[in-house]
């Protein structure tokens, strides 16, 4: 048994379709009653009229039932029409058989509709043959052809609806397959780029980290100037942090999690240890989930702002980072105060160097904005991002 044998595949306008069928069925019931009551003679035809009408109303108005129950109801309705056609030949009771044929054709496949139609046609034929009407054979052929035609039209309509539903499902499946293929191609290209970066950049930085570590240990053992040891140690930290950032970039290409606001405490600690920056972090409000590109924009903005502080604010500079979670947006404010040697060269914070222009582009892609400018005693950067924005992954 298949689904097609029991009922058609639901379509988006299924409710509207059923409402239309019900309205047409109610109008037809009124027509049958109006065309039959005056021709009834005796209680038996009246009983079959009322039975057919009651079954027809149940079929139209009652809540959905099991398919087999509906087949039985439609079969009984058709049989009532066949009996009425024999008891009251001039009445419109035969229309019950037409309604039953249409209902069977619309709702069920041939496995269930064909036996039910055979029963209806048999009862209809018997009713005509035992009636006292003139031209019995003409009436028999006409009614049988009419009921069969109603069933054929309804079945063709059902098959068309099924074909339409299948085509819609096939198109949706095809679109999903194409989207999956496109995503797979993008992931494959990202994986290739990640491998290239890993082989070239990560390996080179790994060798640099090992060489600087060896140089630091050698300088300590040979009693080199402490300043030389400190500078080598600083270079070692920068290289190691650069290696971590390179691995993070490779992970981003592979689809791994990107750094976000949750990494700010570690970023502040690394900057303080590596360069003596007096950086503080304050979080206001309750953290909320951010899109990957928005979270990365927060992290990179803080990173770049501290890089600029290390480059330009001089020794003894302080940096204040405030991450404020508002009702509709998150705001990151990074403010620095110049140190005692503003023009003194300093190494950048590990992983910095993206530039304010690049950060502003990141903010705009995430639906936000970035403002940066000097203050009375330093510099300030302010990033504002909404919680909800349609973006693509960076």
Kindly report the backbone phi and psi dihedral angles of residue 312, in degrees, each rounded to the nearest multiple of 5, phi listed first.
Answer: -120, -20
User: Could you give the CA distance from residue 387 to residue 285 in angstroms, rounded to a whole number?
Assistant: 14
The answer to whether residues 257 and 251 touch, using CB atoms and an 8 Å cutoff, is: yes
CATH architecture observed for domain 261-394: 2-Layer Sandwich (3.30)
What average pLDDT values come out for the chain (394 residues) when binned by 10 residues?
48 56 65 62 74 76 74 86 76 78 83 87 85 77 87 88 88 89 80 70 69 79 81 75 68 69 88 74 91 86 84 75 93 85 44 66 86 88 82 40
Per-residue pLDDT of 93-140, as tens digits, reads 777 888 888 888 888 888 888 888 899 889 888 888 877 767 778 888
User: Could you give the CA distance from residue 148 to residue 126 in angstroms, rounded to a whole number?
Assistant: 16
The answer to whether residues 77 and 61 touch, using CB atoms and an 8 Å cutoff, is: no
Per-residue pLDDT of 292-340, as tens digits, reads 788 888 998 998 888 888 777 666 678 899 999 999 999 999 998 876 6
Instruction: Say whether pTM exceeds 0.85.
Output: no
Q: Where are the domains of the chain?
A: 3-175, 261-394
Cα–Cα–Cα angle for 300, 303, 307, rounded to 5 degrees: 135
β-pairing verdict for 278-284 and 318-325: parallel
Give residues with Cβ within 8 angstroms of 288, minimum separation 6: 325, 330, 387
């Amino acid at each position: 048994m298949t689904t097609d044998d029991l009922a058609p595949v639901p379509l988006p306008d299924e409710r509207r379709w059923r409402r239309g069928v019900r309205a047409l069925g109610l109008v037809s019931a009124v027509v049958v009653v109006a065309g039959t009551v005056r021709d009834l003679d005796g209680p038996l035809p009246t009983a079959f009229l009322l039975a057919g009408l009651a079954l027809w109303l149940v079929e139209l108005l009652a809540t959905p039932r099991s398919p087999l129950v509906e087949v039985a109801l439609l079969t009984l309705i058709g049989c009532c029409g066949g009996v009425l056609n024999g008891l009251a030949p001039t009445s419109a009771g035969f229309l019950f058989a037409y309604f039953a044929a249409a209902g069977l054709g619309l709702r069920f496949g041939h496995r269930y509709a064909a036996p039910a139609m055979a029963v209806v046609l048999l009862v209809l034929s018997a009713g005509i043959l035992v009636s006292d009407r003139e031209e019995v054979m003409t009436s028999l052929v006409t009614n049988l052809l009419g009921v069969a035609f109603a069933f054929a039209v309804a079945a063709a309509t059902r098959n068309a609806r099924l074909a339409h539903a299948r085509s819609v499902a096939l198109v949706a499946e095809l679109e999903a397959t194409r989207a999956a293929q496109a995503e797979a191609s993008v992931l494959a290209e990202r994986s290739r780029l990640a491998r290239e970066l890993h082989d070239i950049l990560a390996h080179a930085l790994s060798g640099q980290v090992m060489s600087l570590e060896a140089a630091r240990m050698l300088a300590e053992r040979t009693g080199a100037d402490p300043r030389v040891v400190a500078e080598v140690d600083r270079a070692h930290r920068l290289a190691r942090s650069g290696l971590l950032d390179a691995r993070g970039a490779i992970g981003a290409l592979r689809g791994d999690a990107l750094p976000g606001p949750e990494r700010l405490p570690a970023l502040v600690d690394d900057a303080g240890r590596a360069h003596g920056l007096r950086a503080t972090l304050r979080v206001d409000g309750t953290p909320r989930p951010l899109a990957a590109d928005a979270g990365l924009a927060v992290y990179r903005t803080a990173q770049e702002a501290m890089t600029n502080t290390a480059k330009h604010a001089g020794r003894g500079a302080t940096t204040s980072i405030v991450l404020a979670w508002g009702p509709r947006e998150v705001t990151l404010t990074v403010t620095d105060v110049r140190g005692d040697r503003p023009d003194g060269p300093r190494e950048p914070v590990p992983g910095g160097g993206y530039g304010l222009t690049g950060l502003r582009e990141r903010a705009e892609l995430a639906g936000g904005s970035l403002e940066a400018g000097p203050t009375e005693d330093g510099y300030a950067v302010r990033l504002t991002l909404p919680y909800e924005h349609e973006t693509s992954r960076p």
